[in-house]
Structure 1
Amino acid sequence: MSEEKRIVVKRITAGRDGHHGGGWKIAYADFMTAMMAFFLVMWLLSISTDKQREGIAERFRMPLKVALSGGDKASLSSSVIPGGGPDSMKSEGERQVTEEDRQADEEAARLAEVKRQIEELIEKHPVFRQFQSQILIDLTTEGLRLQIVDSEKRPMFELASARLAPYTRAILRALAPALNELPNKITLSGHTDAIVYTNGDRSYGNWELSADRANASRRELVIGGMDEKKVMRVVGLADSMHLDKADPRNPINRRISIILLNRKTQQQIEHENSAEVAFQPGPAVVAAKASTQVLSPASFQPPAPHP
């Protein structure tokens, strides 16, 4: 007789917690944290001054763009808090600064496009192509800078002289029409290497030589068709600013630098040299003028002769 097999089925029934589970603990903890943060904020506000509360309020009114970029104030309010002001979109918002920033960005983009066009011109122009390695172009805080540098085998000027080599004249005259089409004014600066210039005249050195070379370059640009009024400044910097700082005697330190000025730098130069900056004599000058007496011929008595 076969044994009867028993099949035992166990059914596990999930029992209910008498306290309705543990989810309430998380909610209670969040509630207590929020209450503690709320009372902490209320306590900080109660002990802060009116000026501090005003600053906190302005901080919450900061535009999102300024908050993310960490830029300057977005309004013209007198508050020291960045982004201050009731509404940066209204008249007291910093619309002037925003406009200046926009114009600066547009000008930077325009100069970058000019840089690309000049580089393309250098690659295609037969005069520039053979001297491409001696023409450097970059963007600086002052504007777009073009540098024509010396080479050991092909110097721009005659030795120890401000007389330009024929190919240097060709470069500058070919560059003049392109500069004349641009609205930017320019500055020219001459540079020498660290070799001391001596020709027997101690009154003429690298400072005079660099200034004469810059001015000679200006004349060639004008001959090439550039308007003379575009030039704002011609300076000689001698060997004070090396292109190759590791080797002050490197020929590339002998160069002519032409800068197409951006609007900010141009306005700064114009302001520095404007007639509005009038001379104000100091107390010593005023006192000297007050003590000066003009003698008429009648009042002048010559000294008595010695016996």
Structure 2
Amino acid sequence: MADDGERPIIKKVIKKVEGGAHGGAWKVAYADFVTAMMAFFMLLWLLNVAPPETLSGLADYFKPTSAVIQGGTPGETEGGVIVRIADENTSSAGQDNDDQQGSGTEETDDAEAILEKIKEQEDIAFAQLQEKIRMAIQESAMLQELNDQVIMEITEDGMKIQLIDKDKRAMFRSGSDELYNYARAMIEQVAMTVQDVPNRITIQGHTDGGSFSAGGEYTNWELSADRANSARRVLAVTGVTDDRFSEVIGKASTEPLYPDNPSRLENRRITILVLREAPVVPPNLTLTD
């Protein structure tokens, strides 16, 4: 009966079950996040160092294509979807603009610098040309006293040589395109100098503001043009080839040397302009000292 009086012993066993919040799933999520961030920063770095051509190719790869339907019109819908007719010219032009936008400014700056350097070198050549003409006139016994009838200057258009009339020393006989001998000799000296450069030449004839009429319809316009052509013939005979002449123009009295006094003798003149040649600058041309 003693056994009947013993109480049974009961053990409570508490099993600890780990919840989801305390598992290892968060580590996987964190690793994915770190990997994604690393890939993102790698993408930013690649975009920063990639050349414009590569970026343009990537942009073209991801650019959505437009549907084209025969006989359709822009903005037409088909099955609830807006269909746009692609314009190949517009698309290609837009793509070219995008491709060139990044490097366009830099290339423009380089081209301007190259052209500026070419202009400086051309100015030096023009200055040397001026000095040769001055020396040739001073060394000639016939032309020494005509030194004040030659005006030379370097302009944006090129080197301008103006042979002007002076009192009792006109270059042409009155009312004609016949040159006096000393005027012919002066043009020949100019020709012997400019024939050494490849630049093209424009010749202009000018008269004063006085009215002129040789009868009929022959006016200052015809006279100035004939005098310019007379100067061209002297240049050609002296050695300037025909392909060098760009224009031979008669200006009459429209561009006086002295606008405030259009009747002055100095307004009657011949202008020989040695033109600047605008070279085509290749894209790979670089400046050298």
What is the TM-score with the length of structure 1 in the denominator?
0.55
State the distance in 2 between where 1:223 and 1:123 align.
23
1:217 equivalent to 2:243? Answer no
**Superposition map of 1:64-213 within 5 A:** 78=101, 88=106, 92=107, 94-201=109-216, 203-213=217-227
State the distance in 2 between where 1:217 and 1:226 align.
11
| Bigger relative contact order, structure 1 or 2 (CA pairs below 8 A, ≥6 apart) | 2
- Look up the match of 1:249: 263
1:233 equivalent to 2:263? Answer no
- Comparing 92-101 and 169-178, the one that deviates more: 92-101
How far is the alpha carbon of 1:166 from its aligned partner? 1.7
State the distance in 2 between where 1:104 and 1:216 align.
31
| CA-to-aligned-CA distance 1:68-95 (integer Å, 9 cap, x gap) | xxxxxxxx9748xxx996xx4xxx5732
Query: Percent of counterpart pairs with the same letter?
Result: 31
State the distance in 2 between where 1:127 and 1:142 align.
31
- Look up the match of 2:4: none
| CA-to-aligned-CA distance 1:124-162 (integer Å, 9 cap, x gap) | 233331211111111111111111101120111111111
Judged with a 3 Å threshold, the aligned counterparts in structure 2 of structure 1 residues 155 and 100 are, in CA distance, closer, same or farther, namely same
SS at match of 2:179: coil
| CA-to-aligned-CA distance 1:234-272 (integer Å, 9 cap, x gap) | 0000000000112100000000000111113x99xxxxx
SS at match of 1:212: helix
State the distance in 2 between where 1:137 and 1:233 align.
19
Letter in 1 for 2:129: V
Judged with a 3 Å threshold, the aligned counterparts in structure 2 of structure 1 residues 120 and 197 are, in CA distance, closer, same or farther, namely same
How far is the alpha carbon of 1:206 from its aligned partner? 0.5
State the distance in 1 between where 2:219 and 2:101 align.
52
Aligned residues: 182
SS at match of 1:190: strand
Could you tell me whether the CA contact under 8 Å between 2:137 and 2:186 is conserved in 1?
no
State the distance in 2 between where 1:145 and 1:93 align.
30
- Look up the match of 2:65: none
How far is the alpha carbon of 1:227 from its aligned partner? 1.9
How far is the alpha carbon of 1:116 from its aligned partner? 2.4
Judged with a 3 Å threshold, the aligned counterparts in structure 2 of structure 1 residues 213 and 153 are, in CA distance, closer, same or farther, namely same
Could you tell me whether the CA contact under 8 Å between 1:211 and 1:234 is conserved in 2?
yes
- Comparing 113-122 and 251-260, the one that deviates more: 113-122
What is the TM-score with the length of structure 2 in the denominator?
0.58
Could you tell me whether the CA contact under 8 Å between 2:149 and 2:163 is conserved in 1?
yes
SS at match of 2:133: helix
- Comparing 94-103 and 236-245, the one that deviates more: 94-103
- Comparing 187-196 and 226-235, the one that deviates more: 226-235
| CA-to-aligned-CA distance 1:24-66 (integer Å, 9 cap, x gap) | xxxxxxxxxxxxxxxxxxxxxxxxxxxxxxxxxxxxxxxxxxx
SS at match of 1:188: strand
State the distance in 1 between where 2:108 and 2:275 align.
30
SS at match of 2:273: strand
State the distance in 1 between where 2:237 and 2:196 align.
15
Could you tell me whether the CA contact under 8 Å between 2:133 and 2:189 is conserved in 1?
no
Gaps of 5+ in 2: 1-98, 281-289
SS at match of 1:127: coil
Could you tell me whether the CA contact under 8 Å between 1:173 and 1:225 is conserved in 2?
no
How far is the alpha carbon of 1:167 from its aligned partner? 1.4
Judged with a 3 Å threshold, the aligned counterparts in structure 2 of structure 1 residues 181 and 252 are, in CA distance, closer, same or farther, namely same
State the distance in 2 between where 1:225 and 1:263 align.
20
SS at match of 2:143: helix
Judged with a 3 Å threshold, the aligned counterparts in structure 2 of structure 1 residues 175 and 93 are, in CA distance, closer, same or farther, namely closer
Give the number of the structure whose alpha-carbon radius of gyration is greater. Answer: 2
